[in-house]
């Protein structure tokens, strides 16, 4: 079954009281703060209830909110040995004040406004990692980590499931897998699909066992003729992989899709992320298998970077650098890349890993020699991305505002029918004389510490305000700095700090330096969808995604503005086209089609 070092013990020391139902107090990190916070929340709840009794008015939505406060306090992430699956908002709230001072009176109706129109969300509750994305018998399948019990990550994580013909319109299906075996009773976690050459599908996923050990498990479609892959059968011999000797029982998860390394010997390989000490190094290990049941751990590591901690959700895939032949337009299959099957041009491999420690994604480029990465991979900021052609089918209209020049310290409202679901294309140019006249400006600028779009420099910030109304706005902007040597550095930032009047949410300024070549205009594409703002600057060289929760900039009050908050330069929007986006109208599950 599994191939393990014989020195590895079969059973693992059970963890203390990790599975008590309703126990959300775990985590020694939190133990110190929680009792006070819980007491305060409970106290304010009692006060509220007392007030309600006095005033005689029904307050269902209020008590609902307060209860949520209590449950929002701690996700079980670190407890179960996985990254914290929250935004950190509960910390901001509990840390900043005791009880409900900071709490915004959210109600279900308000939260309903925030639901996206053309981005996928489950009908309710918590979702995280996408799982096993696969195209099978004419349907695109999206599985995802889903908590059936509530709006935070939990200990009964299941696989949600939805299908689409076009990656835009989705149909919800029943849960594909739930935690119902000893080996995944604490969570059916992330995994990947592999389509075999004969069309069969093998799904590998991580189970968190009854003792919270991370193991890999195999599942196959119960009915391979069902194109909707509604039901799944877990392999009776699960788990197929236990953590190897050198790897901790909670550092072994998220298997990748497998690839044929050498079709002649019918051997598949796949990668699993982990970490090792000393040096707190993140690593990627490779397994070899012929049948997805028996595995052999390859010696060494595929990649390793010290100080980065646990690598989650590894992706490993090839890209082709040529402009014709297989893969040039549509991406390339890993097996084809390795066997150079029809490939014209150089093949480069991309490894993406999600760092548990800082919850950012990192990409590295390198070359794959049989069994290991060859050249020294180097981290890259982003890869260009976006299923543009599909998303563009949702465009309902186009309003062209190109050619507007906006003076410094100005805003310009864009008149749109509705500004909650948008696809905006913009290209900006700074007044070149002004740029030349400045000697030096803002060399030390940094998006995250800048304080956002309110802080003015000579040559920035300028860009767009979206989901904007009165005090609420999300700013997407460029900020140009000029060195003493005359060289320009362009920063691209997204400012959430004023995105909502509510204070019990995380609001940051994110961004970084974006490469701009001589002669290029500053371009950005922004997708707006109720509570999501996604931006792609310079064709994707720098990207930002924000979740924002406006309380006033909603419905017809959500506006878009062009703004220039620089002190010394005019800005021209050479291109400014705004498309309103239709909703994807995802369908609820129906027992019969």
Partner 1 sequence: MLSLLLVAIADAASPASSAAKAPAAAPSTKYSVQEACKHTAGHYELCVATLSSGSKTADTAPGLARVAILAAQQNASETAAFLSSIYDDSNLENKTAELQQCLEDCGERYEAAVEQLTDATTAVDTGAYSESEALVAASQAEVKLCQRGCQAVPDHRNVLTTRNREVDQLCSIALAITKLR
- Residue 546 C-beta: closest distance to partner 1, Å: 17
- Distance CA(474)–CA(465), nearest Å, equals 6
Catalytic-labelled residue, pool 129, 336, 431, 442 = 129
Does the footprint of partner 1 cover residue 429 (CB under 8 A)?
no
* Residue window 8-47: x/- pattern of binding to partner 1, with contact defined by CB under 8 A: ------------------------------------x--x
The order of strands in the sheet holding 139-147 is 126-136, 139-147, 158-164, 170-177
Least separation in angstroms between residue 469's CB and partner 1 is 8
Q: Which lies closer to partner 1 via its Cβ, residue 18 or residue 419?
A: 419
Token pair listed for 315: 């992706």
Give 585: exposed, middle or buried? Use CB within 10 Å, 0-12, 13-18, 19+: exposed
The question of whether 262 is a catalytic residue gets the answer: no
Between 103 and 122, how does the x/- string for binding to partner 1 read (CB under 8 A)?
Answer: xxx-x-xx------------
Using CB under 8 A as the binding rule, whether residue 425 contacts partner 1 is answered as no
Q: How far is the CB of 109 from partner 1 (least distance, A)?
A: 6
How near is the Cβ of 261 to partner 1 at its closest, in Å? 53
Nearest CB to partner 1, comparing residues 56 and 138 = 56
Site map for partner 1, 454-493, x if CB under 8 A? xxx--------x--xxxx-x--------------------
Rounded to a whole number of angstroms, the minimum distance from the CB of residue 417 to partner 1 is 7
Residue among 55 and 376 whose Cβ is closer to partner 1: 55
Answer for the pair 442, 458: CB distance below 8 angstroms, yes or no: yes
CA of residue 98 relative to chain centroid, distance: 30
CB 252, CB 272: distance < 8 Å: yes
CB of 411 to partner 1, least distance (A): 5
What is the footprint of partner 1 within residues 50-79 (CB under 8 A)? Answer: 51, 54-55, 57-62
* Segment interacting with partner 1 (CB under 8 A) among 4-12, 149-157, 341-349, 560-568: 560-568
Q: What is the 3-state secondary structure (H, E, C) of 181-233?
A: CCCCCCCEEEEEEEECCCCCEEEEEEEECCCCCEEEEEEEECCCCCCCCCCEE
CA end-to-end span of the chain? 39
| By CB under 8 A, residue 557 contacts partner 1 | yes
Beta carbons within 8 Å of 549's beta carbon, 6+ residues apart: 114, 499, 500, 502, 505, 531
| Torsion, CA 194, CA 158, CA 181, CA 226, rounded to 10 | -50
| Residue 506 neighbours by CB under 8 Å, 6+ apart | 87, 88, 89, 92, 496
Question: Could you say which residues in the range 501-520 bind partner 1, by CB under 8 A?
Answer: 501-503
Token reading at 264: 């002649």
Structure tokens of 407? 């003076």
Q: Which residues are catalytic?
A: 129
* Chain contacts with partner 1 (rule: CB under 8 A): 44, 47-48, 51, 54-55, 57-62, 100-105, 107, 109-110, 409-411, 413, 415, 417, 451-456, 465, 468-471, 473, 497-498, 501-503, 551-552, 554-557, 561, 563, 565
């Amino acid at each position: 079954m599994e191939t393990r070092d014989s020195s590895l013990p079969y059973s693992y020391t059970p963890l203390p009281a990790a599975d008590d139902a309703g126990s959300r107090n775990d985590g020694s990190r939190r133990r110190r703060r929680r009792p006070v916070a819980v007491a305060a929340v409970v106290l304010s709840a009692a006060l509220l209830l007392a007030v309600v009794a006095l005033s005689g008015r029904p307050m269902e939505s209020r008590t609902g909110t307060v209860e949520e406060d209590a449950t929002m306090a701690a996700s079980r992430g670190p407890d179960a040995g996985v990254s914290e699956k929250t935004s950190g908002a509960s910390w901001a709230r509990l840390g900043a004040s005791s009880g409900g001072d900071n709490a915004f009176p959210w109600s279900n109706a308000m939260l309903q406004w925030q639901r996206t129109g053309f981005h996928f969300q489950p009908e309710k509750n918590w979702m995280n990692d996408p799982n096993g994305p696969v195209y099978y018998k004419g349907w695109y399948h999206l599985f995802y980590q889903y908590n059936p019990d509530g709006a935070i990550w939990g200990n009964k994580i299941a696989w949600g499931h939805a299908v689409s013909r076009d990656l835009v319109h989705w149909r919800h299906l029943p849960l594909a897998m739930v935690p119902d075996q000893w080996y995944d009773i604490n969570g059916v976690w992330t995994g990947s699909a592999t389509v075999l050459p004969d069309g069969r599908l093998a799904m590998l996923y991580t189970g968190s066992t009854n003792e919270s050990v991370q193991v890999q498990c195999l599942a196959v479609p119960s009915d391979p003729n069902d194109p909707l892959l509604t039901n799944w059968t877990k392999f009776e011999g699960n788990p197929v992989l236990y953590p190897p000797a050198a790897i901790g029982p909670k550092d072994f998860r998220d298997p990748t899709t497998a690839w044929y390394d050498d079709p002649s010997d019918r051997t598949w390989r796949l990668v699993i992320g982990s970490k090792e000490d000393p040096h707190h190094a993140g690593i990627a290990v490779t397994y070899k298998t012929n049948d997805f049941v028996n595995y052999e751990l390859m010696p060494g590591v595929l990649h390793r970077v010290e100080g980065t901690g646990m690598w989650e959700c590894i992706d490993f895939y090839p890209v082709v650098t040529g402009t014709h032949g297989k893969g040039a337009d549509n991406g390339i299959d890993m097996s084809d890349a390795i066997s150079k099957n029809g490939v014209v041009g150089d093949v480069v491999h991309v490894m993406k890993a999600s760092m548990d420690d800082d919850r950012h994604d990192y990409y590295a480029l390198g070359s794959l020699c049989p069994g290991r990465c060859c050249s020294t991979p180097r981290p890259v900021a982003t890869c260009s991305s976006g299923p543009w052609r599909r998303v563009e089918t949702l465009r309902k209209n186009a309003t062209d505002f190109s050619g507007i020049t906006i003076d410094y310290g100005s805003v310009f409202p864009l008149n749109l029918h509705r500004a909650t679901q948008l696809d905006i294309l913009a290209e900006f140019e700074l007044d070149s004389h002004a740029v030349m006249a400045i000697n030096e400006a803002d060399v030390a600028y940094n998006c995250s510490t800048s304080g956002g779009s309110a802080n003015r420099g000579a040559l920035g910030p300028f860009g767009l305000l979206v989901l904007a109304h009165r005090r609420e706005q999300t700013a997407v902007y460029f900020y140009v700095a000029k060195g003493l040597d005359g060289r320009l550095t362009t920063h691209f930032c997204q400012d959430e700090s004023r995105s909502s009047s509510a204070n019990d949410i995380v609001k940051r300024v994110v961004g970084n330096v974006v490469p701009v070549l001589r002669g290029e205009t500053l371009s950005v594409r922004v997708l707006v969808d109720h509570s999501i703002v996604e931006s792609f600057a310079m064709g994707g060289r720098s990207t930002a995604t924000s979740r924002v929760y406006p309380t006033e900039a909603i419905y017809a009050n959500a506006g878009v503005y062009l703004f220039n908050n620089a002190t010394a330069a005019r800005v021209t929007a050479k291109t400014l086209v705004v498309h309103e986006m239709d909703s994807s109208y995802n369908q609820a599950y129906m027992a019969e089609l």
